[in-house]
Amino acid sequence: MDPMYLALSLFRRRRYDKCIDVCTGILDKQPLDQAAWCLKMRALTQRVYVDDIDGEEMPEDDILEDHAIATAPRPGTSLKVTEQPKTNVLGSRPRTATGRPLTGVARPGTQTRPGSALDRLRTARPTTGQSARAIRLGTAVMLSQKDGPFIQVSRLNLSKYAKDPRLAKPLFEYLLFHEGDVRTALNLAVQATQHCEYKDWWWKVQLAKCYTSLNMLREAEQQLRSACKQQAHVENFIRLVRIYIRIDQPLSAVDVCTSGLELFPKDVSIMTELARLYETMNDTPSSIKYYRIIVTEDAMNTEAIACIGMYHFYNHQPELALRYYRRVLAMGAHSAELYNNLGLCCLYSQQLDLIVPCFLRALDLAMSPEIEADVWYNLSYVGITAGDIELAIQCLTLCLSSDSSHASALNNLAVLHHKMGRTNLAKAYLASAKGMEPEMTEPQANLDLLQNE
């Protein structure tokens, strides 16, 4: 079998490691084979490729922020002025440390994994086509050394490769995804955009990716606006929405989503962005409205189902919330958070025989001390509901053993010790809770009550 045909077959079957080995064998015999060089470059890229459309992290505050106009924006025009005090009352949504409401599933802006590919790279690419095999004379940069880098980036002649669209796009993706060299990729994209006379919308989107990684948000906005005029693509609208969220202009992001829905009616991706926006802006009814439309269009959308279930739970309808969470469970999702929510729904809907098994399953699936602490904290409500104060204290103590900075657990532990007559110990726990999270209102209110006794 022809080695090149074998390499192409392995690439189509996503067996990238074997494809790289076959291409390496071809390049050992013919170092200037551009087809094998390009295929190996694409295989290396696909092996580490990360799509950040559903994995991009939204930093709360940029270090070099030069887009701020006013320190006190008008109400309803900023995502940073919608924060509310954290409370533990059923019916109020709990919030993360950054102030955004907890959602039904993990989504962009809710988790950060330092050192991961998403932390290093914030890009994605649409599918690109490659021409047929064409063997031409290469350059010195193609002659990679054994046990060394595949491509010597410092020796790349970017102006030469920018003129060849068959090599420019794979090379750009290799530089951005595999090498993580955003500046070199940006230079290649700039020259390729100039060579095509600014008529290729794909290069404008790639420029926006690079500008976003370099925190040049206004430049990225201009490129995406131009790309949307040339080619109406769902990805272009979503990336433009993310830019406006980064520069704290939610109303502009809503306008972009609305214009996108006019071109792509009932598109699930755009409606999901719009529902997240309304949820972040504390417009829960509008958010749930779009989540219900999403479920109508895509019955397997886990995020929409879980968010609707959470909405019903915090509106004193645990029976309805239980139905939605059971639907997520039937779809094959198994996580500590899901079983924790199932346990809480069973607790408040009086299905007592399922409470403890759900929480035990959540503890078995907990992958981090923070999640385990939250499960123990919720399990303490089982003891409080049953009137077993000692069990509740034991659960809260185990919560603090997993996460010593859990302010809500410290506050509840103080209240339970106060009921047991241990006033001094309660004051100590309340002081600790106030020190852990000064923005919480419960510890200070409880301290004032104890002072007046």
Q: What is the DSSP string of 62-76?
A: -TT------SSPPTT
Q: What is the pLDDT of residue 71?
A: 55
* 95: three-class secondary structure by DSSP: strand
Residue 207, number of CB atoms within 10 A of its CB: 24
Token pair of 256 as six digits: 């972009």
DSSP string, 421-440: T-HHHHHHHHHHHHHH-TT-
Please classify residue 302 by burial: count the beta carbons closer than 10 Å to its beta carbon, then call 0-12 exposed, 13-18 middle and 19+ buried: middle
430, 414 in Cβ contact below 8 A?
A: yes
What type of residue is 251?
L
Q: What is the pLDDT of residue 89?
A: 43
Sole residue written with tokens 């006379």: 197
Residue 405, number of CB atoms within 10 A of its CB: 14
Q: What is the pLDDT of residue 439?
A: 85
Domains of the chain: 1-47 (no CATH), 270-333 (1.25.40.10)
Question: Quick one: which of 18, 108, 412 has its CA closest to 420?
Answer: 412
> What's the angle, vertex CA 109, arms to CA 108 and CA 114, rounded to 5?
100
Token pair of 150 as six digits: 């595949």
What type of residue is 185?
A
Distance between CA 104 and CA 94 in Å, rounded? 12
* 101: three-class secondary structure by DSSP: strand
Token pair of 327 as six digits: 């639907």
Q: What is the pLDDT of residue 125?
A: 32
Residue 105's alpha-carbon distances to 370, 381, 420, in angstroms, are: 16, 22, 38
Distance between CA 56 and CA 118 in Å, rounded? 7
Q: Would you give per-residue pLDDT tens digits along the chain (453 residues)?
A: 788 999 999 999 999 999 999 999 998 888 888 899 999 999 999 998 887 776 555 554 444 455 555 555 666 666 665 444 444 444 455 655 544 455 556 665 554 433 333 333 333 333 333 333 333 333 444 444 455 677 888 888 888 889 988 889 999 999 998 888 899 999 999 999 999 999 999 999 999 999 998 989 999 999 999 999 999 999 999 999 999 998 889 999 999 999 999 999 989 999 999 999 999 998 999 999 999 999 999 999 999 999 999 999 999 999 999 999 999 999 988 899 999 999 999 999 988 889 999 999 999 999 889 999 999 999 999 999 888 899 999 999 999 999 888 999 999 999 999 988 888 898 898 999 888 888 888 888 888 888 876
Q: What is the pLDDT of residue 88?
A: 44
Token pair of 255 as six digits: 């306008």
